Structure 1
Amino acid sequence: MRIGIGIDTGGTYTDAVAFDFEERKVLAKGKSRTTKEDLSVGITGALDFISADLRQSAEFIALSTTLATNACVENKGCRARLVLMGTTEKVLRRIDAQKNYGLSYEDVLCLNTKCSFDGSVVDEPDWETLVAQHDEWFEQAQAISLCEANAARNGAVCERAGKAYLSKSYQVPFVMGCELSHDVNMMSRGATALLNARLLPVIDEFLSATKRALARQGVACPVMIVRSDGSLMGEDLAFERPVETILSGPASSVHGSRELASLENCLIVDIGGTTTDISLVKGGEPVMT
């Protein structure tokens, strides 16, 4: 047997399943209430339904969760700030960035800097003056994100310079938009960076709780996290890029339902305690969620 264990933590319930990849069948499963005050308790409760032999035989653990999804729907997460370089607040308001990109104006600081496409900085921000003028704004941040125009073409020189300078004054996590997305739309990249910063403690808590639960059960094997596209990533990357887990739960539902139902064309409905997701499968492949 080649056994893997899957754990899914939602806003209401936490599920665990042991799966035999050679026989393609479920060997054991368990469900427990999600304990928001300490997620490890609910995870341990779900794992208790899987025998010790199966837990010890597992070759890897795959995690999925809707915690990031729920945080977006419920507007939770940490207080994050975004430094947006290469535009002005006037532009943000003209395109209604708050409605169209989820960029709350009070959380965004615009710097009308100019960088060329080849990476040479035409007008680099005066970081010292910036900190002096906006120290209180930065101090309120639990995480800081940075995004600049033309970052994909110029090596994100201002993002890197900003992180290097600001990290000396503010001991919080920093997120650079260039590391998350190469979308030419700066507003989309900025929104992604800001959301990623907000979700850092959400996924940190989930992964830390999972590790505590696995340690209690004596389980020591690689842990992978399901991305929004259904692929897997390691713990270190998930800690840095929690935004990539936003559709983790629904992606797992699609793969699991498709495997168990053996249907080429179907509609998959995943009803949770906080959100409901619907996915369309055509020709055995998910085409829309």
Structure 2
Amino acid sequence: MSTYRIGIDVGGTNTDAAILNESLTCIATAKVPTTDDVFGGVRAAIDHLLSETGIAARDIGLAMLGTTHCTNAIVERKRLLRVGLLRLAGPASASVPPLANWPADLAAAVTLKWKIVGGGYEYDGRILTRLVEDEIRAAVRDWRGRIDAVAVCGVFSNINSEQECLVEQWILDELGPIPITLSHRIGSLGFLPRENASILNAALGDVIGDVISGFANALKATGLDHVRAMIGQNDGTLMSAEAARAFPVLTIGCGPTNSLKGAAFLSGRKDAIVVDVGGTTADIGMLSKGFPRQSALAVDIGGVRTNFRMPDIISLAVGGGTVITADSKGEPVIGPQSVGYRLTSEAMVFGGKTLTLTDVSSVLGVGLSIGNRFPDVPTSFCRAAFESVLKRLATGVDRIKTSAAPLPVILVGGGSALFPDRIDGTDEVIRPANFGAANAIGVAIGDVSGEVDRIVAMRDDVREQTLASLRDEAIQSAVLAGADPSTVEVLEQEDVPLSYLPGNATRIRFKVAGRLISRA
């Protein structure tokens, strides 16, 4: 029986990895520079773990990957596919065109072709407008050769998905095999945010494809092609590589989530502030009862509003690779640029010519000492720069708080080794064992989830049966994704009457999760 699992987190600067046993005890960790392709860094990290521990490849049963590639692609406006959007909404939605509030550069990167056609449903699943097959097929034919993927978004399709599924078949008839995103499989309530998420999902097909291929190739090259490979989601749970290929947008935000989960696991603290310092950014979040506190606001991804549930995170442009320069008065300027994964070639402590936060820390003798050179930089300048960085961290910690009650701060991430065990405004700073690989450990301990989010016409005489049926549906989706049925538990349940809709309309949402079963 395969008893070990490996967690890997690919960041902008470093690729972190950890190997855990059946009891979820961390046996060893690894940190290697991220490579332009996913393959190189992941393979190097796995090779390091297996070599250091002597564990045979055949004894590894699970491999989990967390990645920021999709987030970076949206933020940097790079490698996005050309998308065609069919909005099934009839004439009612024509006043608000697709991409209405998108940043101009992101909209240009997606090069969206779109068509509003008849379709959609009422809140209770009754047809709003019927589909016109000829109209839809003509629109799709016109896009041939001008798009790489298609998104379909219908009014209340999350209540009744029949029209979206029918349109999917027509698209395949006209264009052949092409990636298609159906909005009912991605978002919940909120038509425009669901449409936005669907367009982003369609645009990310190439990015996630390269990630999954690189991950698979690295597993094969290290003798781990027999393991069950899973990808981290933005809510801290896991999905299969096949699911990730279909829903790449669900990987956005998994990096900070994994770090928060890893921090809670390593420290044993249920309520705390977590500061995750990497090579490029410092992400600050809060743990509440052992889980990442979710944002109460709509989540913007690269300037686009979506309806995902994500951790409440404050990101600062502060990391080990952050570039330090001087203004016209000789005062230090912190970032926002970072040398990223080029730290070991461009930072002064490694013989480079760029002054980074790592160099500043080295001059002051603070935190971890790395490299083989001593930067020729005035101590007074470095001290002023470092104090400015500490002030930013303290401000971020203060902003994430919801009350004046004291909370411990858990420092994790490789870049946190550069900082002292103090942050102004906190009474306790915790740096747990294996803090540098908290993100990799966080994804390694992830469960498999299932979710149902529906609007139903709730009648008192069938209330319990309706709830039980939807709960069972969520549990079944988790089991199909690889969860052990005996471990599946309900994490969240929402039962909200929608007073603005007639007919006792009620939104029912179940979120469940269970322990992942490894392959024998």
Q: Which residue of 2 aligns with 1:82?
A: 85
In structure 1, distance between residues paired with 2:126 and 2:281: 43
Residue 124 (structure 1) aligned with residue 131 (structure 2): yes
| TM-score normalized by the length of structure 2 | 0.49
Residue among 164, 187, 195 paired with 2:192:
187
In 2: Cα distance, 1:89 partner to 1:250 partner: 37
Change (3 A) 1:116 1:58: closer
SS at match of 1:90: coil
CA RMSD of aligned residues (A): 2.7
Of 112, 123, 129, 1:107 maps to 112
Secondary structure, counterpart of 1:243 in structure 2: helix
> 1:2 and 1:160, CA in 2 relative to 1: closer, same or farther beyond 3 A?
closer
- Confirm or deny: 8 A CA contact 2:86 2:117 kept in the other structure: no
Say whether 1:242 aligns with 2:273: no
CA distance in 1, matches of 2:227, 2:152: 35
Q: Partner of 2:7 in structure 1?
A: 6
- Whether contact under 8 Å (2:158, 2:185) holds in the other structure is no
Which deviates more, 191-200 or 255-264? 255-264
Point out where structure 2 has 5 or more consecutive residues left out of the alignment. Answer: 294-311, 314-520
Instruction: Name the SS for the 1:62 alignment partner.
Output: strand
Match of 2:203, as an amino acid? R
Alpha carbons 2:83, 2:113 under 8 Å: kept:
no
The higher-RCO structure (CA 8 Å, 6+ apart) is 1
Superposed displacement of residue 2, structure 1: 4.1
Q: What are the ranges of 5 or more consecutive residues in structure 1 without an aligned counterpart?
A: none
Alpha-carbon separation, structure 1, partners of 2:84 and 2:55: 44
Q: Verify the 8 A CA contact 2:82 2:111 in the aligned structure 1.
A: no
Quote the residue 2:156 is aligned against.
Answer: 150
Provide Cα deviations, 1:76-109, integer angstroms capped at 9, x if missing partner.
322222222215443238x94336xx87796252
Q: Tell me which amino acid in the other structure corresponds to 1:72.
A: I
The verdict on how the C-alpha distance between 1:165 and 1:19 changes in structure 2, with shifts beyond 3 A counting, is same
Letter in 2 for 1:83: L
The code of the aligned residue for 1:199 comes to L
Aligned: 1:218 with 2:217? no
Look up the match of 1:73. Answer: 75
The within-5 A match list for 1:42-53 is 42-51=41-50, 53=54
In structure 1, what residue type is equivalent to 2:82? R
Alpha-carbon distance in 2 for matches of 1:135, 1:116: 25
Give CA-to-partner distance per residue, 1:13-42, whole Å, 9 cap, x none: 2222112342x5422222222222x32122
Partner-residue secondary structure (3-state), 2:243: helix
> Match for residue 286 of structure 1?
292
CA separation in 2, counterparts of 1:243 and 1:262? 31
Q: Does 1:31 align with 2:34?
A: no
Provide the rounded CA distance (Å) in 2 between the counterparts of 1:114 and 1:51: 55
Q: Could you say which residue in structure 2 is the equivalent of 1:62?
A: 64
Report the TM-score when normalising by structure 1: 0.85
Taking structure 1 as reference, are residues 112 and 144 closer, same or farther at Cα in structure 2, changes over 3 Å only? closer
Q: Which residue of 1 aligns with 2:102?
A: 98
Stretch deviating more after TM superposition (269-278 or 7-16): 269-278
Structure 1 equivalent of residue 270 of structure 2: 264
In structure 2, which of residues 254, 257, 261 is the aligned counterpart of residue 255 of structure 1? 261
Equivalent residue of 2:48, what SS?
coil
* Structure 2 residue corresponding to 1:161, chosen from 162, 166, 184: 166
Query: Is the CA contact (8 Å cut-off) linking 1:180 and 1:193 kept in structure 2?
Result: yes
What whole-Å deviation, never above 9, does each CA across 1:197-252 have from its counterpart, x for those lacking one?
Answer: 11222122111111111111111211122211111112221111111111111111
For 1:191 and 1:72, locate their aligned partners in 2 and report how far apart those are by CA, in whole Å: 12
CA distance in structure 1 between the partners assigned to 2:56 and 2:148 by the alignment: 37
Letter in 2 for 1:278: I
Matched residue type, 2:102: Q
Letter in 2 for 1:75: R
Distance 1:17 1:133, change over 3 A: closer
